[in-house]
A and B are shown apart, each in its own frame.
Chain A
């Protein structure tokens, strides 16, 4: 099947099979390995990418469903000049990851949250992020990183 979509701001046309998931096309066809696959049943959030701004689990989302849509992956957050997204920087500053396997999905979910709600409370962060599992950090620094990024982005818009 012919699949056309916009990936990280660039139009793409790739061949895919009907049963292929978006994670498979990203990882196997396009060699974009930032999107990680873990539970494969939409429970852990490691494979989270944004489709038209909404977080989806790429492990179970059929690639063909993305036709004509805007897909953003972890590789799409860094600006061409190397500037990191405020969330990426906040994850570094708060030591919000260890092994890093959940991190791309974690950051993409957090991005969807902040796009929707730029100043979430702690309770809102916990509620929104509940679909992402991290086994290393105990979540404490991740909550701090999201709060820090929200603050940084708030300052940025006020400038």
Chain B
């Protein structure tokens, strides 16, 4: 859950989705041989199509033709007021650093010297507040249409992370011994890092009491008998506040899953699989899938409940892959 101020800011940022990020932008330079050559020199790219009188620009230069450079875009072209406002809101809230995280480009036709570049882009999405290894902030995704001589030439989706940096410990491997010690102590902290604590309240305390007794308890509505998970104060189907519990048999299947690679968090050791497990009772829950390599987890895979002790205070329900029964082909 976001805290109050975070929630308010989330809503204000969300309102920028769908608004223009750049309107009728014009590339500062037409596509030209010198910029192509400088790019190829920097990248070490000796593709023959990018040189000579009939050169095409490397397609990956797409965004470069739209950049404002040192002087930026001005007037009625380029960056829109909405995009400036959005970034201003983030800056004002302390999310002052920026890093690009994703770039997806499609190239519709080659760009050649002399082509005039024009572009429009819109704010496609603003994420909820996220915490990564870099810090806490928001992902902002824009989608740009790029034209050459007025004809579509490519599309460019771009995602940035606008964030407040996390406090960083020294990490320079070449630094003198004091920071080496710091690095070592950081490493030992990492090895002792503990998983986040569950937030136990009166609405979900019964679930955790069940876990402590190695029982996975599902809530059941008193009124309409609908099962529900995770635990909630009332029934989503009929609104009744009365409930009792049913103990899960522990059998289930992988309904869906993701594999976490990045960013790493201290108590976790990526890559690891996070599964959405469908219990035979019909409800789904998120948990770890264990007993199988992360890249061999599959949708539909049968799994069985067990309890894993994370540390002296915390035990968690996890799901172990059930070895496939041999034979019975056909």
User: Do these two chains interact?
Assistant: no
Which positions in B face A, CB cutoff 8 Å? none
